[in-house]
Structure 1
Amino acid sequence: MNSLRTVLRIFVIAIAAVLALPLLPAGVAFGHGSAIGPPSRHYGCWDRWGSDFQNPDMATEDPMCWQAWQSDTNAMWNWNGLYRESVDGDHQAVIPDGQLCSGGRTGGGRYAALDEPGPWEAAPVNNQFTFRTHDQARHGADYYRLYVTRQGFDPLTDELGWGDLQLVADTGVIPPGEGTPENDPVLNGVTVSINVNAPGRTGRHIVYMIWQASHFDQTFYSCSDVVFPG
């Protein structure tokens, strides 16, 4: 009898502990991060329309975000979760041409709409600029690698492939927690700033980020649309 009471007591304590855990809203990812300046496609769509994502004006004012929201709203709610595991540094083998912005259609194809060419909202930058990426969970990095599309690539009509990119920055190791703290409660992590030099570019381009997080073999990817002078 005593043993039965002991088992029942343990069971009640276990149930109470589970009920005491905080509940997360459906579709909300644990904090990881993404590019915020120039913003990644998914972060930018969430930042501009997250509080007004059912507004029909998005269809004409921001048509690429509109098609992305219609395709899968969770891609924007989970703007900080576009990553793959177990890539082991072999990015080109894992991610096919035409699927770079979605990380090879990671998340069961959740981010597929990000691969669509078209008039994504683009941030004006100079040929030398600072790229800002947010490490929401303070993972640190084995490296950030930044690429810019070669002159002649047209983001309005061309699918992005590995042959379209030129490496412009490679940070090497960044320790966990290093960066500028953000007071914005939505971000609430650290922002890493990376100097970029992309000479010879004019007009529309894509900045492609590969962020190899240092805590696990998790690799984050993003496309940021920019406009160079000229």
Structure 2
Amino acid sequence: MYAETPTRRWTLRVITPVMAAIVGLLTLFMSPWSDSASAHGSIVEPASRSYGCWDRWGGDHMNPDMAEEDPMCWQAFQANPNTMWNWMSLFRENLAGNFQGSIPNGKLCSAGDAQGGLATSLDNPGEWTTTDVGSDFSVHLYDTASHGADYFQVYVTRQGFDPTTDALGWDDLELVEETGSYPPAQDITFDVSAPGRSGHHIVYTIWQASHLDQTYFICSDVNFG
């Protein structure tokens, strides 16, 4: 046995908390419903772009197969992984209902750069993975913070819009559902109807939370069969 030097003891005191912090971060990122995710919420069915990428690849985001199997998630992870880790944070505050005046065309899926420019990859057109739906389908909000809702507005892109080539603008959307209020809950599900569509579309959900003037803007890619 060799004697432990003061330098070695100091080094261990520094390294140990650093390693603990790294392990803690990894645990946070890999947890299915982490404390970070519980801070806010998002649409998980049909999956939002950021949530879908995190759900499919959060535990395997360095896998090069993502580039071929899920290219839009790949480009989002390359741009900034925090967009997916913070899949619940696409919100803006104090807009007073002035959504179209606050979020420019082409920036709807990032909520107008809601994460300080980190989420702009969500605005890029391309082959986003879709959820199969019919003309009538359900929208499911997951929110462990249980903010509740003053209302939801659900829009769907008009027939002829191509999410693989076109950046999303307000004129591309048709309002198909506006709900009333919901009390605080971790899960809120409601039904919408969007007939007359086929193929790849974007469902755009606006969730006005009840606890303060905090509004979430969420893109989900769907395939109408």
Identity between Structure 1 and Structure 2 (%): 56
Counterpart pick for 1:114 among 107, 122, 130: 122
Please tell me the residue identity of whatever aligns with 1:135.
Answer: D
* Distance in 1 of aligned mates of 2:197 and 2:91: 28
Distance 2:41 2:212 in 1: 14
Q: TM-score, normalization: structure 2? A: 0.83
Equivalent AA in structure 1 for residue 205 of structure 2 = M
Displacement of 1:30 in angstroms is: 5.6
| 2:182 is equivalent to residue 174 of structure 1 | yes
Q: Are 2:108 and 1:100 aligned?
A: yes
Q: Distance in 2 between matches of 1:136 and 1:75?
A: 19
How far 1:118 sits from its partner (Å)?
A: 0.3
1:207 aligned onto 2:215: no
Quote the residue 1:221 is aligned against: 217
Question: Of 189, 193, 196, which aligns to 1:197?
Answer: 193
Could you tell me which amino acid in structure 1 is paired with residue 171 of structure 2?
G
Q: CA deviation at 1:151?
A: 0.5
Which residue in the other structure is 1:163 paired with?
A: 171
Out of 119, 133, 137, the residue aligned to residue 125 of structure 1 is 133
SS at match of 1:124: strand
String of CA shifts for 1:41-88, please: whole Å, max 9, x gaps: 000000000000011110000000000000011111111111111111
Name the structure 1 match of 2:53.
Answer: 45
Task: Give the letter for the 1:220 counterpart.
Answer: Y
CA contact (8 A) 2:156 2:202 kept: yes
* Matching residue of 1:78: 86
Q: Cα deviations across residues 180-199 of structure 1 (Å, max 9, x unaligned)?
A: xxxxxxxxxx2211111101
- Structure 1: which 4+ aligned runs deviate by more than 6 Å? none
Q: Sort the Cα spacing of 1:47 and 1:226 in 2 relative to 1 into closer, same or farther, 3 A.
A: same
1:134 equivalent in alignment to 2:142: yes
Structure 1 unaligned segments of length 5 or more: list them. Answer: 1-22, 178-189
Q: Verify the 8 A CA contact 2:38 2:143 in the aligned structure 1.
A: no
SS of aligned partner of 1:201: coil
Task: Tell me the residue number matched to 2:8.
Answer: none
Structure 2 CA distance for partners of 1:30 and 1:130, relative to 1, 3 Å:
closer
User: What is the RMSD of the two structures over their aligned residues, measured on CA atoms?
Assistant: 1.5
Query: Structure 2 regions of 5+ residues with no counterpart?
Result: 1-20, 30-35
The match for 1:18 is none
Shift of 1:100: 0.2
Alignment partner of 1:92: what SS?
helix
Query: 2:39 is paired with a residue of what secondary structure?
Result: coil
- Equivalences, count: 195
SS in structure 1 of the partner of residue 200 of structure 2 = strand
Aligned to 1:143: 151
Aligned equivalent of 1:9:
none
